[in-house]
Structure 1
Amino acid sequence: MEKLLEVKNLNVSFQTYGGDVKAVRGVTFDLYKGETLAIVGESGSGKSVTAQTLMQLIPKPPGKITGGQILLEGQDIVSKSEKEMESIRGKEISMIFQDPMTSLNPTMKIGKQIMEVLIKHQNMDKNSSKARAIELLKLVGIPMPEKRVNQYPHEFSGGMRQRAMIAIALAANPKLLIADEPTTALDVTIQAQILELMKDLQDKMNTSIIFITHDLGVVANVADRVAVMYAGQIIESGTVDEIFYDPRHPYTWGLLASMPSLENDEEEELTAIPGTPPDLTNPPKGDAFAARNQYALAIDFEEEPPLYQVSNTHFVKSWLLHPEAPKVDPPASVKRRIRKLSSTFEQPILVEGGK
Structure 2
Amino acid sequence: MKKLLEVKDLHVSFQTYGGDVQAVRGVSFDLYTGETLAIVGESGSGKSVTAQSLLKLISIPPGRITKGQILFGGNDIVAKTEKQMESIRGKEISMIFQDPMTSLNPTMKVGKQITEVLIKHQNFSKTAAKERAVELLMQVGISMPEKRINQYPHEFSGGMRQRVMIAIALAANPKLLIADEPTTALDVTIQAQILELLKVLQAKMNTSIIFITHDFGVVAKIADRVAVMYAGQIIETGTVDEIFYDPRHPYTWGLLASTPRLDIDEKADLAAIPGAPPDLINPPKGDVFAARNEYALAIDFEEEPPIYQLSETHFVRTWLLHPNAPKVDPPESVKKRMRSLSSTFEEPVLVER
Instruction: Tell me the TM-score range normalised by the shorter chain.
Output: over 0.9
Q: Give the conservation status (yes or no) of the 8 Å contact 2:249–2:316.
A: yes
Residue 235 (structure 1) aligns with: 235
Percent identity over the alignment is 81
Residue 274 (structure 2) aligns with: 274
For 1:230 and 1:243, locate their aligned partners in 2 and report how far apart those are by CA, in whole Å: 15
Secondary structure of the corresponding residue to residue 280 of structure 1: coil
For 1:240 and 1:268, locate their aligned partners in 2 and report how far apart those are by CA, in whole Å: 26
Work out whether 1:43 is the aligned partner of 2:43: yes
Residue 2 (structure 1) aligns with: 2
Offset of 1:188 from its aligned partner?
Answer: 1.0
For 2:304 and 2:113, locate their aligned partners in 1 and report how far apart those are by CA, in whole Å: 47
Residue 256 (structure 1) aligns with: 256
Work out whether 1:22 is the aligned partner of 2:19: no
Deviation digits for residues 139-171 of structure 1 (CA, Å, limit 9, x no counterpart): 000011111011000000000000000000000
For 1:59 and 1:8, locate their aligned partners in 2 and report how far apart those are by CA, in whole Å: 17
Secondary structure of the corresponding residue to residue 28 of structure 2: strand
For 2:175, the aligned partner's letter is: K
Residue 164 (structure 1) aligns with: 164
Secondary structure of the corresponding residue to residue 169 of structure 1: helix
Residue 344 (structure 1) aligns with: 344
Offset of 1:267 from its aligned partner?
Answer: 5.5
Q: Give the conservation status (yes or no) of the 8 Å contact 1:276–1:292.
A: yes
Alignment CA distance shift 1:306-1:264 (3 Å):
closer
Alignment CA distance shift 1:321-1:267 (3 Å):
farther
For 2:303, the aligned partner's letter is: E
TM-score (norm 1): 0.97
TM-score (norm 2): 0.97
Residue 185 (structure 2) aligns with: 185
Deviation digits for residues 55-78 of structure 1 (CA, Å, limit 9, x no counterpart): 010151111111000000100010
Work out whether 1:211 is the aligned partner of 2:211: yes
Offset of 1:333 from its aligned partner?
Answer: 1.5
Q: Which 10-residue stretch deviates more, 338-347 or 66-75? A: 338-347
Work out whether 1:70 is the aligned partner of 2:70: yes
Residue 319 (structure 1) aligns with: 319
For 1:38 and 1:348, locate their aligned partners in 2 and report how far apart those are by CA, in whole Å: 19
For 2:297 and 2:91, locate their aligned partners in 1 and report how far apart those are by CA, in whole Å: 48
Secondary structure of the corresponding residue to residue 60 of structure 1: coil
Offset of 1:266 from its aligned partner?
Answer: 3.4
Q: Give the conservation status (yes or no) of the 8 Å contact 1:268–1:333.
A: no
Residue 199 (structure 2) aligns with: 199
Offset of 1:195 from its aligned partner?
Answer: 0.6
Offset of 1:214 from its aligned partner?
Answer: 1.4
For structure 2, list consecutive stretches of 5 or more residues without a partner in the other structure. none
Runs of 4+ in 1 over 3 A off after TM superposition: 345-350
Offset of 1:262 from its aligned partner?
Answer: 2.3
Deviation digits for residues 243-284 of structure 1 (CA, Å, limit 9, x no counterpart): 011100000000000001022523633101000000000001
For 1:176 and 1:266, locate their aligned partners in 2 and report how far apart those are by CA, in whole Å: 41
Give the number of aligned pairs. Answer: 350
Taking only aligned residues, the RMSD between alpha carbons, in angstroms, comes to 1.1
Secondary structure of the corresponding residue to residue 288 of structure 1: coil
For 1:286 and 1:43, locate their aligned partners in 2 and report how far apart those are by CA, in whole Å: 22
Alignment CA distance shift 1:264-1:332 (3 Å):
closer
Offset of 1:343 from its aligned partner?
Answer: 2.2
Offset of 1:216 from its aligned partner?
Answer: 1.7
Residue 105 (structure 2) aligns with: 105
Secondary structure of the corresponding residue to residue 88 of structure 1: coil
Residue 309 (structure 1) aligns with: 309
Deviation digits for residues 114-162 of structure 1 (CA, Å, limit 9, x no counterpart): 0000000000011000000000000000011111011000000000000
Residue 124 (structure 1) aligns with: 124
Secondary structure of the corresponding residue to residue 86 of structure 2: helix
For 1:160, the aligned partner's letter is: M
Q: Which 10-residue stretch deviates more, 295-304 or 266-275? A: 266-275
For 2:144 and 2:352, locate their aligned partners in 1 and report how far apart those are by CA, in whole Å: 46
Offset of 1:348 from its aligned partner?
Answer: 5.3
Q: Which 10-residue stretch deviates more, 121-130 or 54-63? A: 54-63
Secondary structure of the corresponding residue to residue 296 of structure 1: coil
Work out whether 1:221 is the aligned partner of 2:231: no
For 1:74, the aligned partner's letter is: G
Task: Give runs of aligned pairs for residues 126-141 of structure 1, distance below 5 A.
Answer: 126-141=126-141
For structure 1, list consecutive stretches of 5 or more residues without a partner in the other structure. 351-355
For 1:20 and 1:342, locate their aligned partners in 2 and report how far apart those are by CA, in whole Å: 40
